[in-house]
Amino acid sequence: MDFVKYHGLGNDFILVDNRSSSEPSLTPAEAVQWCDRHFGIGADGVIFALPGQNGTDYTMRIFNSDGSEPEMCGNGIRCFARFVADLEGKADNFASYRIHTLAGVITPKLQPNGQVTVDMGLPRLTPAEIPTQLAPGAEKVVAQPLEVAHQTWLVTCVSMGNPHCITFVEDVAAIPLESIGPLFEHHPTFPQRTNTEFIQVVRPDYLKMRVWERGAGITLACGTGACAAVVAGVLTGKSDRRATVELPGGCLEIEWSATDGRIYMTGPATRVFAGKL
């Protein structure tokens, strides 16, 4: 089977041309083997480019490195857009696609400078949409106390089609992600588990972020997490609506539009190599 490796700020993926079938050509267990960094290709996930549904251009499915299937992936969809543009021979054009995902229709657009801008849609803020049990009814989860590892954290919860728990800290470098990340991910208040973002506010227009991703663990970048972080920053009065989010792998530009309420993410997607397994 042919594949191409891409990364978005170090968040790396194996891309598979799956346009001849409506189902992924690998099982979740096979995806785990492919993602193994010692005995496989190595990646945070395997992404499949399938035929579009309901008038969309393509369908994106992704299996994480642990075999689970997330609803969406921000860095992944930028890599996906670059991949299908390469397949179509449109890599140097202003190609734009409507992509069917488990989180809804997402629209990425390639830029001539190698960046990809993605209309990530509207953030979802009610507990049922996230989902979380931290607040009742339609009340937003903003700066709510959560006990993790014998410590009280003030967390804000956002769904970008997948769940995020955001907490603001003085120094992101001091957070023991390896030990505390799994405790957030599997906390009983999150019935579908959660991604967790630790955010340091450098300026209202510049945030530093480290992330523990649901199903992948520590990654160098998380696009949906960066979007959720800016939403949480605005809701808590800590961030502007347009901000640079610095991740270990590089920076993303995020805007929560005051005009249409949608989230726009801009960042790179880089081809690494192609192969056959």
Q: Catalogue the active-site residues.
A: 73, 222
What tokens appear for 249 in the block?
Answer: 């792998």
Residue bearing tokens 């390896």: 178
Locate the DSSP E strands across the chain: 2-8, 11-17, 45-51, 58-64, 99-101, 104-110, 115-121, 144-148, 151-159, 163-168, 195-203, 206-213, 217-218, 242-247, 250-256, 263-268, 270-276
What tokens appear for 180 in the block?
Answer: 């505390």
Evaluate the CA torsion angle 168, 102, 253, 4 in order and state its sign.
Answer: positive
Q: Are 40 and 71 in contact (CB under 8 A)?
A: no
Single-letter amino acid, residue 245: V
Of 112, 148, 156, 109, the closest CA to residue 265 belongs to 109
Q: Are 108 and 81 in contact (CB under 8 A)?
A: yes
